[in-house]
Amino acid sequence: MSTPNIAVKRRHMRRGNMRVLVHIALFAVLGIALIVTGVIGNSKLAKATDSYSDTARLKVYKDKASGLEPRLSALFEEFEVSKNSIKNKVMNNKRKSVNEALDADIASGLPDEDALLKAIATYTDRAFDVISSDSDEATGTKLKQKVAGAQLQLIQELTAEARASAESITSKDVRGTMNARNTQHYVIIYYGTAILIIGIACLLLAGVLCALWFTKDSEGRARVGQAIEPFDYLLPFLVGVGVFTLYPMIRVLIMSFQENYKLTGNNLGTATGWGLGNYNFILNGMGKTQFMRALRNTALFVLFTVPITAAIAIVVAHLLNRKSKLNSLFQTAYFMPMVTTATAVGLVWRWMFNTQNGLINALINFFTQFFGAPNNINWLQSGAADHAISMAVLIIYGVWSSLPFTIILLLSGLQNIDDSLYTVAKVDGSKPARIFFRITVPLLSPTIGLVLIINSISAFKVYTDVFVLWNGSPQDYQMETVAWYIFNNIQTADGTHSLGIAAAAAMVLFVIIFVFTMLQKFLQRKWVYQ
Amino acid sequence: MRKPDMKTIIYLALLLAGLLIMIFAYPFSMPVGSYASTYQKIAKIHGEDLTLFEAMQALDSAEAKMTEWNVNSTSDEGAKLLGIAANASSADAGAYKTRLVVFCAGLVIFVAAVVLLKKTTYLLLTLGAIFMVFPFYWMISSSFKTAPEMNRFPPNMLPESWTNFSNYTEAWHTAPFGKYFFNSIFVCVCSVAVVMFTTVLAAFAFSRLRFPGRNLLFTLLLSMMMVPFELLVITNYQTITRLGMRDTLAALILPFTSSIFYTYILRNFFDSVPDSLYYSSQVDGAGNWQYLWKVMVPIASPSLVTIILLNAMASWNSFMWPQLVISRDEVRTLPWALVTFTTEVGIKYELIMAGATMVVMPMLLLFLFARKQIVRGVARGGIKG
C-alpha cells in the first residue's frame, strides 16, 4: 500500500503496535481466566469423585451381607448365650450410631482404618457389657481379646475390598452421571480439561506475541499487527462454523461407527463399541423395514417432484417473461408460497385433503356426480392400503411449494438470454413453439440443470411436509422419509436418543445426495448447452 | 390506444357473450341439483349407484323408496328423504339438463374467444395463479367460518361472515400466542443481528484483507455448505444438551450465528467494490474498521438488505430445529407452536386455520412490501428463502 504521508504512516504503525499489545493483553487475561476456570472445574470434579469414592467405601463397610457387621457377628457368635441376644442387643442397638459415626469420620477425612477401629470398639464395648451381664466378666474379657486379635486382619480385608470398589469408579464415570440439571456449574466441570487446554493455548499465544514484540522493531511490530488483523475479523464467524458445522461433520461420521451410541438421561454419550452395527441395523437389521420404506418414499418423492416442478416452472417462467403491467400481480401470486411457514400451509393442505369435509373431495365429487354416486377418496389415511394416494398428496404439495423458487431461478435465467436472438428468429419467421424449443430451452439449460440439482438436494431432505401432513406420525401411514427417520431417532418417544442410528442414517443420506448430485453433474455435461 | 379492428370487437363480444351465458345459465345452484345429490348419496348407502340425472328422475319416488330401504322417518336420512319428497320434483330435471348444456356451451364460447384473442397465456397464467394462491384464500376464509360451516360438505366457498373473529379470540386464549409471537420476533431479531455482524466481518476479511490460506479456507467453507443440516443437527443437538441450553431461546439462535452462504454472497459483492476506494481511504488514514463500516457497508446495503430479509424469513419459518430442542411452552416459536396447538385442539379446523393465518400474516405482509428485494435475493443466491 502506498502511504506517501509520513503522518499517516506513523498512524498506521501506531495502530499496528496497539493491536499487538491489545492482543497480548487479551490473550493473557483470557488464558489465565480459562486456566483458573479449568482448574476449578477439575477440582470440583475431583471433589465429586472423592465423595463418590467415599460413598462406595462406606457402602462396603456398611453392607449387611459382607461388611463390618456380619464379620463382627461371626466373631461374637461363640459367645452367644441366648439366641440372637448379641444380634439384638449389640448389633441392632448400636448399628445406627456406628453407621453415623462412620459417615462422619470418613467425610471428615479420618483414615479408614481408624474409623473402622472406632466402630469395632463401639460394637465390642457394647458386646462386653451385654455378655458381662448375661454370663460373666471373664467371658466378656475373652471376647475382647478375641476381637483384639482378629480386628487388624478384619480391617485389612475390609479396606482392601473397599479400595477395590472405590478404584473402579473413575472420574470419567462420575462426570458421566452429571448432567446440566442435577449439577451446578455443569459446563465447567464437564469440560474442565478442555477449558484448561484452551487457556494454556491462549497463554502460549500471548507468549508468542510477546516474543515477537520484543524481537522486532517498530515497523516489524506493525507488520505483526497487520498480520493478525484478519483473524480478528474472522474469529466470530470461524468459531460458529467450527463448533456448529465442522465439528458436527466429523463427530457424526465417527458417531455412525459407534455402536449403540445413546445419549442417556445424563447426557453421556455411551457406546458399546466400534463397528458397523448402526449401518447394519438400518440396512439389514431391525430398522431395515422402516429405513427402506423411508428410502423408498424419499426416492419416489424426488423422482416425481423435481421433474414435474421443473416442467411446470419452465412453462410458467416463459409465460411470465414478458413486459406486462400485470406481471407484478402474477409474480406476487406465484411467489407467495415461498415465504410462508411450511407448517401453516401444510395444515391448510391437510384440511383441503380431508376425507369428509375437504375441498378436494368436494371438487372431485362435483365432477363425478354426473357419472355415478360420489365416492370420497381417503387421501391422507390410505397408508399401506393404497400407498399411491398418500404419495400423490405429498407430491402435489411438494410441487406446489417448490414451484415459486424454481420459477424465480428460471425467470432470471430467461432474462439473461439476449433479446436479439428472439428478434432474429422472429424476423426469420419462426413459430413461437419452434423458438421455444430451439432457442429458449437450450439457452436455458444451464439454469435448468442448476434448478434440477438444487431441487433434488432439497427434495431428498423432505421432512416438514410429511410431518405436518400426517400430524407428526407419518410412520402410521407408511409415509416416513429419511430425514424423518433421522429426526425420529434423535428424539425417540421413549426418551432414548439413538444418535448412532441417526448418524448412520444421516451418512447414508449424505452419500446418496452426493452421488446423485455428481451423477447429475456428469450427465448435464451432455445436455446442458455450454 | 389505437382503435380495435373488427375481428377484435367480434372476439370481445364472443367473450362477453360466453361469460353472460355462463352466469345466467348457472345450473349448479338449482335446488333440484342439491336434492338429487343428497338422494344420490343416500341411495349409495343402500346399494344403488345412480348418476346425478338418474337420481333426478327418481326424486318423485323418494317417499316410496323410504319403505323399500327401511328408513326410519325420524332419522337423519329419513328427514332428508321426506324433505325431498315434499319439495323436489323429477320434472325439474329437464330444466337442469338444459341449463347445464347451455352453461357448457357458454364455457366453450368463452375459452374459444380467449384463444382467438390470443390471450391464452393470460388464461393459463390466471389458472396457475389461482392454484398457487388458493390455499391462502382457503386458509383465511376458513378462519372466519363457524364450526357448523366447517362440517358442511361440500364446503362453502365464502364464509357466512367475514368479520367473525371468534376463532381468533378462541385460538388466542387456548394457547399463548402472544408469547409465541414474542419468542419468534426475539429470535428473529437477535439471529439477524448476530448473523449480520459475523457475516460482514468475515466477508470483509475474505474480500479485502490478505492472509495466508485465504483462498483455500474459502474453498473449504464452500464445500462445507454442501453438508445437509440434517446431518449436523445430530451433534448440534448433543452440544446444546451438554451445554444445558435445551429449552432456551439461545439454543435457537446459537447454532446459526455463522452462515457460509450469506458470507459468500456478501464477499462477492465486496469484491466488486473498486480497490481505489480502499487505497484512498488508507491514504486518508482510516483503518480497516472505519473503512468497513463507513464505506463498504453503505455501498453494499442492497445486498445486506437481501441477506437480512432472507435470514429473517428463514428464522421465522424454522421448524425442524425448534421442534428438536424446545419442549417448554414458554420458549416455543410460532411454527412449532402451531403444530402443538393442532394437537391440542384436535379436529377443530376453524381454530387451526385461524392460528395458521396469524402465523403466516407477518411474512405475507413482509413479502407484499419487499417482494422485489426478496425475489432478487433468491435469484442471485439460488437458495430457498
For position A469, which CATH number holds?
1.10.3720.10
Q: Regarding predicted confidence, which is higher, B141 or B33?
A: B141
Question: Any CB–CB contact under 8 A between B181 and chain A?
Answer: no
* Contact between B254 and A244 using a beta-carbon 8 Å cutoff: yes
For A434, residues 6+ apart whose C-beta sits below 8 A from its C-beta are: A425
Please tell me the predicted confidence (pLDDT) of residue B280: 87
CB contacts under 8 A, B 93-152 vs A, are 121-122, 124-125, 128-129, 131-133, 135-136, 138-139, 142, 150-152
Q: Mapping DSSP to helix (H, G, I), strand (E, B) and coil, where does residue A269 land? A: strand
Segments making up each domain of chain B, as ranges: 6-118, 169-381
For A68, residues 6+ apart whose C-beta sits below 8 A from its C-beta are: A61, A62, A98, A116, A119, A120, A123, A154, A158
Please tell me the predicted confidence (pLDDT) of residue A496: 67
Interface test with A, best of B230, B247, B248, B372 (most A CBs within 10 A): B230
Please tell me the predicted confidence (pLDDT) of residue B384: 37
Whether A514 is covered by a domain: the verdict is yes
Q: Do residues A184 and A295 both lie within one domain? A: no
- Out of A375-379, A446-450, B185-189, give the one with best mean pLDDT: B185-189
For residue B343, list chain A residues with Cβ-Cβ distance below 8 A: 471-472
Please tell me the predicted confidence (pLDDT) of residue B383: 47
Number of domains in chain A: 2
Interface test with B, best of A195, A270, A347 (most B CBs within 10 A): A347
Q: Do residues A182 and A285 both lie within one domain? A: no
Please tell me the predicted confidence (pLDDT) of residue A313: 94
Decide if A402 contacts A308 (C-beta within 8 A). no
Q: Do residues A215 and A101 both lie within one domain? A: yes
- A203 to chain B, minimum CA–CA distance in Å? 23
* Contact between B244 and A181 using a beta-carbon 8 Å cutoff: yes
Q: Regarding predicted confidence, which is higher, A75 or A448?
A: A448
Q: Do residues A231 and A289 both lie within one domain? A: no
Residue B191 has pLDDT above 90, yes or no: yes
Q: Do residues A227 and A316 both lie within one domain? A: no
Q: How far apart are CA A489 and CA A503, in angstroms?
A: 9
The residue among A209, A231, A247 that closes a domain is A247
Please tell me the predicted confidence (pLDDT) of residue A21: 86
Question: Any CB–CB contact under 8 A between B44 and chain A?
Answer: yes
Average pLDDT of span B184-205: 94
Enclosing domain of residue A348: 277-527
Smallest CA–CA distance from A448 into chain B, residue: B382
Residues B2-31 pLDDT 10s? 677 888 888 888 899 999 999 888 888 788
Q: Do residues A282 and A227 both lie within one domain? A: no
Residue A59 has pLDDT above 70, yes or no: yes
Fold type of domain B169-381:
MetI-like fold (1.10.3720)
Q: How does DSSP assign A440-498, residue by residue? A: IHHHHHHHHHHHHHHHHHHHHT--HHHHHHTTT-GGGGT---HHHHHHHHHT-TTS-B-
Residues A474-485 pLDDT 10s? 888 888 899 999
At A263, is the pLDDT very low, low, confident or very high (cuts 50, 70, 90)? low
Residues A85-103 pLDDT 10s? 777 777 787 888 888 888 8
Q: Mapping DSSP to helix (H, G, I), strand (E, B) and coil, where does residue A276 land? A: coil
Please tell me the predicted confidence (pLDDT) of residue A245: 92
Q: Do residues A136 and A216 both lie within one domain? A: yes
Q: Mapping DSSP to helix (H, G, I), strand (E, B) and coil, where does residue A413 land? A: helix
Percentage of residues in chain B with pLDDT exceeding 90?
28
- B105 to chain A, minimum CA–CA distance in Å? 17
Q: Do residues A301 and A241 both lie within one domain? A: no
Whether A270 is covered by a domain: the verdict is no
Residue A163 has pLDDT above 60, yes or no: yes
Residues B50-68 pLDDT 10s? 888 888 888 888 778 777 8
Whether A348 is covered by a domain: the verdict is yes
Q: Do residues A240 and A383 both lie within one domain? A: no
Please tell me the predicted confidence (pLDDT) of residue B382: 61
For B31, residues 6+ apart whose C-beta sits below 8 A from its C-beta are: B87, B88, B92
Q: What is the ipTM of this complex?
A: 0.88
* Contact between B241 and A263 using a beta-carbon 8 Å cutoff: yes
Q: Do residues A37 and A126 both lie within one domain? A: yes
**All cell numbers assigned to B203:** 466477508
Please tell me the predicted confidence (pLDDT) of residue A267: 54
Q: Regarding predicted confidence, which is higher, B316 or B247?
A: B316
Whether A271 is covered by a domain: the verdict is no
Q: Regarding predicted confidence, which is higher, A171 or B198?
A: B198
For A529, residues 6+ apart whose C-beta sits below 8 A from its C-beta are: A442, A443, A445, A446
Q: How far apart are CA B308 and CA B262, in angstroms?
A: 9
Q: Do residues A303 and A413 both lie within one domain? A: yes
At B164, is the pLDDT very low, low, confident or very high (cuts 50, 70, 90)? confident
Percentage of residues in chain B with pLDDT exceeding 70?
98
Least confident piece of the model among A197-206, A263-272, A387-396, B300-309:
A263-272
Whether A301 is covered by a domain: the verdict is yes
